[in-house]
Amino acid sequence: MAGRVSDEVVFGAVLAVIAEQGYERATTRAIADAAGINEATLFRRFTSKQNLLRQAVRSNFTGFALDLDAPGDDVEADLLTIVSYYARLYETRGGVVLTLMREAKFSPEVASVLAEPESLLERVDEVILHHQRRGALVVEPPRHTFFALVGPLMMRSFARRVDKRATQAPADPAAVVRRFLHGHRA
């Protein structure tokens, strides 16, 4: 019964268990069970829990591709690309994102894992700066712009973990961008 389970399947199990249980409760036993392999095999293949998490996050984030190589003349289109990406991320991995953000402050091992999503953010910064220079966006630290753009989306996604009854539908990226640019005044 040595049916080999691919790394990808194991990584998927890691993220699923973390999303459901949190990092501390995502025990190696639970992960092994979810992946359908033996706990000892987990350590023989991935060395440690930290390394396993790092590889799982890396695999997930490289799987997500964000294409914003060539920012152009259309702010709305470029922001929509960014918002759509994060909308998908929070929809599929909201629990993981929430857990990692919470854990990052006191767990260096989690913080180091977040270096890769961070590098993605730097590319987002450049797109925002590009449009600021074009005079299409308010000039401010690009990270502030990013938080203002994506914050509503993130909060709505996180709120669904607490608030069962309201706002079950995910936000529409196009509407988010439009409101971001034009404001909420009627």
Partner DNA sequence: CGTGAATGCAAGTGTTCGCTTGCATTCACG
Partner DNA sequence: CGTGAATGCAAGCGAACACTTGCATTCACG
Write out the residues near its own copies by the rule CB under 8 A: 20-22, 24-25, 95, 98-107, 111, 114, 118, 132, 135-139, 141, 143-145, 147-156, 158-159, 161-163, 166-167, 171, 176, 179-186
User: Which of DNA, its own copies, none is residue 88 near (CB under 5 to 8 Å by kind)?
Assistant: none
Among 9, 20, 49, 178, binds DNA (CB under 7 A): 49
Which positions from 12 to 31 touch DNA by CB under 7 A, shown as an x/- string? -------------xxxxxx-
Residues 133-172 that bind DNA (CB under 7 A): none
Provide the minimum distance between the beta carbon of 173 and DNA in the complex, in angstroms, as a whole number: 36
Listed residue (49, 57, 45) closest to 16, CA to CA: 57
For DNA, which is the closer residue by CB, 18 or 114?
A: 18
Provide the minimum distance between the beta carbon of 69 and DNA in the complex, in angstroms, as a whole number: 37
Please report, for the chain, how many H helices and E strands are present, in that order: 9, 0
Q: Considering the rule CB under 7 A, would residue 112 count as an interface residue with DNA?
A: no
User: Which of its own copies, DNA, none is residue 39 near (CB under 5 to 8 Å by kind)?
Assistant: DNA
Concatenated DSSP letters of 6-56: PHHHHHHHHHHHHHHH-TTTS-HHHHHHHHTS-HHHHHHHHSSHHHHHHHH
User: Which of DNA, its own copies, none is residue 43 near (CB under 5 to 8 Å by kind)?
Assistant: DNA
- The Cα 5–Cα 10 span in angstroms is 7
Q: Considering the rule CB under 7 A, would residue 107 count as an interface residue with DNA?
A: no
Measure CA 90 to chain center: 6
- The Cα 129–Cα 143 span in angstroms is 10
| Contact call for residues 23 and 103 (beta carbons, < 8 A) | yes
Tell me phi and psi for residue 169, to 5 degrees: -75, 140
Which residues in this chain contact DNA in the complex, by CB under 7 A? 1-5, 25-30, 36-41, 43-45, 47-50
